Amino acid sequence: MESKAMTTIIHQHHEYERVRYFTRGTVVLVVLAAAGAVGYVYRLLFGLEAATNLDNQYAWGLWIAVDVASGVALAAGGFTTAALADIFHKEEYHVFVRPALLTAMLGYTFVVVGLLADLGRYYNVWHPMLPTMWQGNSALFEVGMCVMIYLTVLYIEFLPIVVERFKGQVNLPGILSYANSLVESWLTVAARYLGRFISLFIVAGVVLSCLHQSSLGTLMVIAPNKMHPLWYTNVLPVLFLLSAIAVGFPMVIFESILTNRSLKCKPETGALSSIAVYVPILLGVYLGVKVVDLTIRDAIPYLFDGSAASVSYWIEILAGVVAPILLLSNPRIRRSVTGLFIAAALVVGGVVLNRINVFLVAYQPLYPIRPYFPSFLEIMVTIGLISTLVLIFRWIVMTFPVLTTEECIERVGIMNNRRQPAGRTEPAP
């Protein structure tokens, strides 16, 4: 009995090992981020011609395909998870909402940063905010406006997390201490009223996401004579939207497993397995539309012509769509963290490859002089942006109450005002 009581006490007062921000992995990411920052500044100072392999024939390259188009698609977990948990009231998935929201917020933020590098006159990026410069016939204008508004919505949705972190704990240093009461009063007002209107922003976020996810596909519809028949179709906007929705939950699974492993927490296998059930259905719808589209356009013969485009298409479909459908249709694999991670990674990689195929592989100028391949600096900037995003994500989850499990909360050292710290439980009767 005594041994059992001691075991209970030890279990109740167990303190998890704190996770440090800097590890060997984060040091490597810092180096890559610094290298990318150098390349980014070089491009801003000396222009696109000096920094990239872009020209008048290939005006869009790696940065559009990966940093912008892929970044927007992989940030779809924010609106798909919000729709599932808050609009369709699947309360058991609220555990994923905050991490998915953070991923979307940072993803879209870095989409804008990447877009600035790709714009020739990046200093004019503010022009779409002026009604006198609006162009309602431009698909790119619609994308820009939706991304700008949706990014604002994401930061508003993140405000309750900031309020929760600092409410009752404002302690500004030095002369700023005079503003403590003012900031605390702002936080109190925000805590009182944000919850009443946050649902409106969630709905707005879902609508805006559907608009610009599809419009990214519209960008290539205007180039019918410059794209390979395997990818050129009038329903490209629909395919972009369906693929973004299909990758939303796999991206949540991918990010959740990596985050928990990085912070030495146990992945929430039950919830992950449950949300993975939807993935084969969404991927199946996407695959069905693609097959029907290829059939209607008589483009199926191009699948077997042995060209590099056909090989890339087969890899995109088999590895990024068919394989995950088969894997996640198996209950045993859905209950396995490794199986979930592999399947989710395949979907994520498949969507990235799809965007690369559409914007790079499928695109061919009418009279090409030379093929396009990204410069070393283009690749370095892309890797640097991704590394910076991961570093900021890690800092935020270790600073704000984004994670919801008690184990992760204690490991990163965040003591949420609304949660009792892990290890402090009522004594056993």
Question: pLDDT confidence of 417, banded at 50, 70, 90?
Answer: very low
**Contacting residues for 311 by C-beta, under 8 A, at least 6 apart:** none
Taking phi first (over 0 means left), then psi (-120 to 50 degrees means alpha), and beta for anything else, what does residue 413 get? left
Q: Could you tell me the pTM of the whole model?
A: 0.87
pLDDT at 183: 83
| Least confident span in 2-6, 137-141, 325-329, 360-364 | 2-6
pLDDT at 5: 44
Identity of residue 87: I
pLDDT at 421: 38
Percent of the chain with pLDDT over 90: 47
Name residue, tokens 């699947």.
90
- The architecture (CATH level 2) of 22-405 comes to Up-down Bundle (1.20)
pLDDT at 418: 42
CA distance 156 to 104: 13
Percent of the chain with pLDDT over 70: 92
pLDDT at 7: 43
pLDDT above 80 (res 424): no
pLDDT above 80 (res 1): no
Contact (Cβ atoms closer than 8 angstroms) between residue 237 and residue 222: no
DSSP 8-class letter at 16: P
- Closest-CA residue to 341 (of 239, 231, 261): 261
The number of beta carbons lying within 10 Å of the beta carbon of residue 399 is 14
Please compute the mean of the pLDDT values over residues 258-274 and round it to a whole number: 87
pLDDT tens for each residue of 296-336: 999 999 999 989 999 999 999 999 999 999 999 999 999 99
pLDDT at 15: 62
CA dihedral 227, 231, 237, 240 (to 10 degrees): -130
pLDDT tens for each residue of 69-86: 999 999 988 889 988 888
Please compute the mean of the pLDDT values over residues 97-102 and round it to a whole number: 91
pLDDT tens for each residue of 172-226: 787 877 887 888 888 888 888 887 788 888 888 888 888 888 888 888 888 888 8
Between residues 3 and 321, which one has the greater pLDDT?
321
Residue 377 vs residues 54, 232, 262: alpha-carbon distances, Å: 12, 30, 29
pLDDT above 50 (res 423): no
For the chain, the average pLDDT equals: 86
Element housing 353 (H / E): helix 337-356
Please compute the mean of the pLDDT values over residues 273-288 and round it to a whole number: 95
pLDDT above 90 (res 356): yes
pLDDT tens for each residue of 128-137: 888 888 888 8
